[in-house]
């Protein structure tokens, strides 16, 4: 092949690269949503929507809602970009930092969102929410974490709460009742352990599951307000309460006695659900995000949903916190401050959180949508309904630490905490690591405007 021909080929390739970055109208095979944005007629306002709903049934439910929206709003070109939740944290920061964020994007509230606020990267939605009482649609317990410095910066979508799930049959066989306190839980675990069964299934490969145990114990022992204050890098709190160490020691006790499933640090979430679905472990702690999968899906046998039930997070008698608090946090969406399609973006967000769509989402996802009335007898199964009722009745919800801690603090804390499972890191060291990282982060916050 002559070199001239090669050069010509090269120019053609270059032209293709330039063309392919923006327009794919001549695609012979229809590209999947997410790999390539859907191109519609020109002149439409583009709204890019950053979503983490990659798995089923979330993805197809969202796609249905999006299709309805597009039908109702042909002047808006809605493009959904899907990213895995664990990749999303880095990806969205990269996108925002690079000046290329989606117009509406998924956020975790708490410190996670606050950082975006401090960097002036998200829109102040307070006035928008006041219009037409948009804000009034949402469940009260879900809104506080999206507020900061007196203004609202995002809207809640799904409420994620954690409970313990237990295998009814395995408990009944041994005459066990769901434990009400952590000490009772220890006894229940011991009963199973004596028979050689790992009582609690745990997958800590992603590092955050284990810290849920610690988070609820912290709230129960130290108290919900104190805990929130300590998480915050802008306040004086520094994890000085002795209750923090007690909680860490308690979790270490579970690990030492072998109450968690083996090799939890290397266990994936699928394996974790399998352990429960194949009835090899009687107890797991998980949340609303797994409700649908564990009741009816490819991963569990037929009718498995009837084999398990839930018990709320146990109490610590004598703890300073409210023993009736639930643990969880909503996740939701914010609007990018530099968006060029502000009105269209808000239109989409209002649509997504409208009562009808909310009910559709509940039916499709079997998860707790934060819109009032969305979870009801028509839309929700009985387990989800129970979450919703409990949520309404609960005095409050304590969030898990990883969305309230600053990034470097969170990374350091979760890293060292995972060492508790195999005994390589002592509870004292975990707390020291947390305190040091937190102090460093506090020092830096002080230098910001």
Partner 1 sequence: MTRSRPAQMLRVVALRALLVALAAIAAGPVVWAAFGSLKQGRDITTRPFALPRPPTLRNYGTAVEAGLLWQWLHSVLLTSVCVLLVLLLASLASYAFSRLSFRGRAPLRTLLLSGMMVPVHAVLIPLFVAAGRMGLAGSPISLVGPYVAFSLPLSVLLLTTYFAEVPREIEDAARLDGCSDLRFWWHVLIPMARNGLITVGILQGVWIWNEYPMALVMLTRSWKTLPVGLAAFKGQYHADWGAVLAGLVIVAVPLLALFFAFQRWIVRGMTAGAVKS
Partner 2 sequence: MVPYVFVAPALLVFIAFALIPIVLGLCAAAFRIDPVLRVCEYVGARNFATIASDTPFRIALRNNLLWVVLSIGVQIPVALLLAAALADQSRFSRVMRTVFFSPLVIPGVAIGIMFSIVLDGQLGALNAALSWIQGHQVAVGWIADRRWALFCLIGVACWQYTGFHMMVLLAGIQDIPVELYEAAEIDGAGWWQRLARITLPLLRRVLLADMLLVAIGSVKVFDIVQVMTQGGPNNATEVLGTYMYSQAFMSERMGSGAAVAVVMLGVTLAFALIHSRLARLEAGAS
* Binding track, positions 55-94, relative to partner 2; x by CB under 8 A: ----------------------------------xx--xx
Of 229 and 338, CB closest to partner 2: 338
CA angle 426, 432, 435 (to 5 degrees): 145
Query: Whole-number minimum distance, CB 415 to partner 2, in Å?
Result: 6
C-alpha closest to that of 143 among 425, 383, 332? 332
Query: Whole-number minimum distance, CB 411 to partner 2, in Å?
Result: 5
CA distance 449 to 445: 9
- Identify the residue among 10, 31, 74, 119 touching partner 2 (CB under 8 A): 119
Listed in sequence order, the DSSP H helices in 337-426 are 342-352, 355-365, 382-393, 401-404, 407-418
Among partner 2, partner 1, none, residue 169 binds (CB under 5-8 Å by kind): none
- Identify the residue among 12, 16, 23, 97 touching partner 2 (CB under 8 A): 97
- Identify the residue among 265, 322, 354, 432 touching partner 2 (CB under 8 A): 265
Both tokens of residue 269? 């979430």
Summarize as ranges the residues that interact with partner 1 (CB under 8 A): 3, 6-7, 9-10, 13-14, 16-18, 20-21, 29, 31-32, 34-37, 54-55, 81, 84, 86-87, 91, 94-95, 97-100, 268, 270
Of 60 and 408, CB closest to partner 2: 408
Adjacent-strand bridge partners of 182: none
Both tokens of residue 346? 């808000």
C-alpha closest to that of 260 among 190, 201, 307, 304? 201
Complete DSSP assignment for 228-268: HHHH-TTSS--S--HHHHHHHHHHHHHHHTT-BPTTGGG--
CA distance 237 to 240: 8
Adjacent-strand bridge partners of 76: 45
Answer yes or no whether residue 408 interacts with partner 2 by CB under 8 A: yes
Query: Whole-number minimum distance, CB 234 to partner 1, in Å?
Result: 26
Residue 419 half-sphere exposure toward CB, CA atoms < 13 A = 14
Of 13 and 172, CB closest to partner 1: 13
Of 217 and 425, CB closest to partner 2: 425
How many residues in the shown chain lie near partner 2 by CB under 8 A? Answer: 33
Answer yes or no whether residue 271 interacts with partner 2 by CB under 8 A: yes
Answer yes or no whether residue 116 interacts with partner 2 by CB under 8 A: yes
Pair 437, 413: CB distance under 8 Å: yes
Residues in the chain: 449
Residues 409-438 that bind partner 2 (CB under 8 A): 411-412, 415, 418-419, 422, 424-425
Tell me how far CA of residue 228 lies from CA of 140, 141, 210, 446, in angstroms.
18, 15, 19, 18
Query: Whole-number minimum distance, CB 267 to partner 2, in Å?
Result: 8
Answer yes or no whether residue 120 interacts with partner 2 by CB under 8 A: yes
Which residue, chain included where needed, has tokens 């050689």? 196
Binding site for partner 2 (CB under 8 A): 89-90, 93-94, 96-98, 115-116, 118-121, 205, 263, 265-267, 271, 407-408, 411-412, 415, 418-419, 422, 424-425, 440, 444, 447-448
């Amino acid at each position: 092949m002559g070199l001239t021909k090669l050069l010509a080929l090269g120019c053609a390739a270059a032209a293709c690269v330039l063309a392919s970055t923006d327009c794919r109208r001549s695609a012979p095979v229809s590209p999947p949503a997410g790999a390539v944005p859907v191109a519609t007629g020109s002149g439409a306002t583009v709204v890019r929507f950053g979503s983490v709903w990659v798995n089923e049934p979330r993805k197809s439910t969202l796609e249905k809602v999006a299709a309805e929206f597009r039908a109702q709003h042909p002047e808006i070109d809605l493009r959904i970009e899907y990213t895995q939740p664990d990749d999303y944290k880095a990806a969205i920061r990269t996108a925002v930092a690079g000046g290329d964020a989606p117009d509406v994007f998924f956020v975790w509230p708490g410190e996670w969102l606050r950082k975006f606020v401090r960097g002036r990267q998200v829109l102040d939605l307070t006035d928008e929410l006041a219009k037409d009482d948009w804000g009034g649609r949402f469940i009260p317990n879900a809104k506080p974490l999206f507020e900061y410095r007196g203004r609202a910066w995002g809207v809640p979508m799904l409420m994620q709460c954690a409970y313990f799930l237990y295998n009814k049959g395995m408990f009944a066989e041994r005459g066990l009742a769901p434990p009400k306190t952590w000490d009772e839980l220890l006894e229940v675990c011991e009963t199973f352990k004596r028979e050689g069964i790992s009582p609690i299934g745990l997958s800590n490969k992603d590092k955050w599951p284990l810290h849920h145990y610690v988070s609820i114990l912290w709230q129960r022992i130290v108290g919900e307000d104190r805990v929130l204050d300590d998480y915050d890098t802008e306040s004086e709190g520094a994890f000085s309460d002795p209750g923090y160490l007690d909680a860490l020691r308690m979790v270490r006790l579970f690990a030492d006695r072998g109450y968690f499933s083996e090799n939890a640090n290397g266990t994936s979430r699928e394996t974790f659900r399998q352990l429960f679905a194949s009835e090899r472990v009687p107890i797991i702690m998980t949340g609303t995000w797994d409700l649908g999968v564990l009741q009816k899906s490819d991963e569990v046998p037929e009718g498995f949903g009837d084999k398990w039930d839930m018990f709320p997070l146990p109490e610590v008698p004598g703890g300073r916190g409210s023993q009736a608090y639930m643990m969880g946090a909503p996740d939701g969406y914010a609007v990018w401050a530099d968006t060029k399609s502000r009105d269209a973006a808000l239109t989409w967000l209002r649509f997504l959180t409208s009562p009808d769509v909310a009910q559709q989402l509940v039916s499709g996802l079997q998860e707790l949508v934060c819109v009032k009335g969305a979870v009801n007898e028509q839309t929700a199964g009985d387990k989800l309904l129970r979450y919703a009722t409990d949520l309404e009745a609960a005095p409050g919800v304590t969030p898990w630490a990883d969305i309230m801690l600053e990034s470097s603090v969170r990374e350091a804390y979760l890293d060292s905490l995972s060492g508790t499972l195999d005994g390589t890191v002592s509870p004292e060291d975990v707390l020291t690591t947390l305190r040091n990282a937190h102090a460093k982060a506090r020092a830096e916050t002080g230098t910001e405007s």
